[in-house]
Structure 1
Amino acid sequence: MKNIKFQVAVAVVLAAFAGCLGALGAERWLGPKEPVGLHDFVHERLDLTADQEEELDLLEERYAIENARRELEVRRANATLAVAMDSEHEYGPEVGAAIDEVHTAMGELQKATVRHVFAMRSILDEEQQREFDRQVSLSLTGPPSE
């Protein structure tokens, strides 16, 4: 009886170990092959020249400032929506107006992002642009990221 319990315990430990190894292997060999973000893709996959890297760094600095400002506008609009919802406790005129503010702020953030994507594209050569365009298309139409 002791021998059977020991054998079962060893089998459970070995099965758990095999499961862990399988999960690690699947993550390593079957995990995502493409970088997560567009910036990572540009930096890691497009073999940029030193001049392109420098231009890209400048574009990213400018975009970071604008993006932070736009995100603050979205947060402010969300705060206005929260106040309106707390005030009206229904979908009333204040809530409707606040939702419009949120949508406007989000739209401006998206427009700024698209302008930045086109600015990045403009510093690439033709072959890099083709790869970039494919990645942008995949980013916009591919499966949702985790």
Structure 2
Amino acid sequence: MKITGRLTILLLALALIAGGLGAGIGTWLIAENKDPVGLHAFVHQELDLSPGQEAKLATLEQRFAIEQRRLELELKSANAQLAEAIESEHRYGPRVAVAIDRVHEKMGALQKATVDHVFAMRELLDPRQRAAFDREVTAALTADPSD
């Protein structure tokens, strides 16, 4: 199969979109299903939260879910604009460069909001819980993704 310039651009766009979504969303931090994974599962299952902490955490999670969805939609829009720019220019031109910067901006905003949410969750914890939480966050952020 001959790889043409158009195919190369398409593959580049797909790689950027996939990478952006994977890096930006950080599914290990926030799960939207009924069986939470990662940090949320750890907080709910391992930290022995009081009913008051659970209630405050539920409020935080509801607020963050709305913000997360908004930011994910903005990232999706930025990726669509990148696709349009690639289709229009068929090279790494000025529109593509601007679109890539916008994707990175939206990915960064999502990551910052997620980290803010992690710190908000941490504030609900007592000192013993915080120590365990901090260890879990550090382990999650430094884990080898191939493991």
TM-score tier (shorter): 0.7 to 0.9
Match of 2:55 in 1: 54
> What is the rounded CA distance, in whole Å, between the counterparts of 1:144 and 1:56 in structure 2?
28
Match of 1:74 in 2: 75
> What is the rounded CA distance, in whole Å, between the counterparts of 1:48 and 1:145 in structure 2?
31
Letter in 2 for 1:91: Y
Letter in 1 for 2:136: Q
Task: State the Cα distance separating 1:145 from its structure 2 match.
Answer: 6.2
Instruction: Render the CA deviation track for 1:96-124: whole Å, top value 9, x for unaligned.
Output: 00000000000000000000000000000
Greater RCO (Cα-Cα under 8 Å, separation 6 or more)? 2
Residues 70 and 145 of structure 1, relative CA distance in 2, 3 Å threshold: farther
> What is the rounded CA distance, in whole Å, between the counterparts of 1:120 and 1:99 in structure 2?
32
> What is the rounded CA distance, in whole Å, between the counterparts of 1:133 and 1:36 in structure 2?
17
Letter in 2 for 1:54: A
Q: What are structure 1's unaligned runs of at least 5 residues?
A: 1-34
Match of 1:64 in 2: 65
Match of 1:130 in 2: 131
Secondary structure of the corresponding residue to residue 144 of structure 2: coil
Given the two structures, how large is their TM-score scaled by the length of structure 1?
0.75
Match of 1:99 in 2: 100
Match of 2:117 in 1: 116
Instruction: Render the CA deviation track for 1:8-30: whole Å, top value 9, x for unaligned.
Output: xxxxxxxxxxxxxxxxxxxxxxx
> What is the rounded CA distance, in whole Å, between the counterparts of 1:70 and 1:141 in structure 2?
25
Between structures 1 and 2, the one with greater helix share: 1
Instruction: Render the CA deviation track for 1:54-93: whole Å, top value 9, x for unaligned.
Output: 0000000000000000000100000000000000000000
Aligned Cα root-mean-square deviation (Å): 1.3
Match of 2:6 in 1: none
Q: Bigger radius of gyration, 1 or 2?
A: 1
Match of 2:28 in 1: none
**Which ranges of 4 or more aligned residues in structure 1 deviate by more than 4 Å?**
none
Match of 1:26 in 2: none
> What is the rounded CA distance, in whole Å, between the counterparts of 1:135 and 1:72 in structure 2?
29
Q: What are structure 2's unaligned runs of at least 5 residues?
A: 1-35
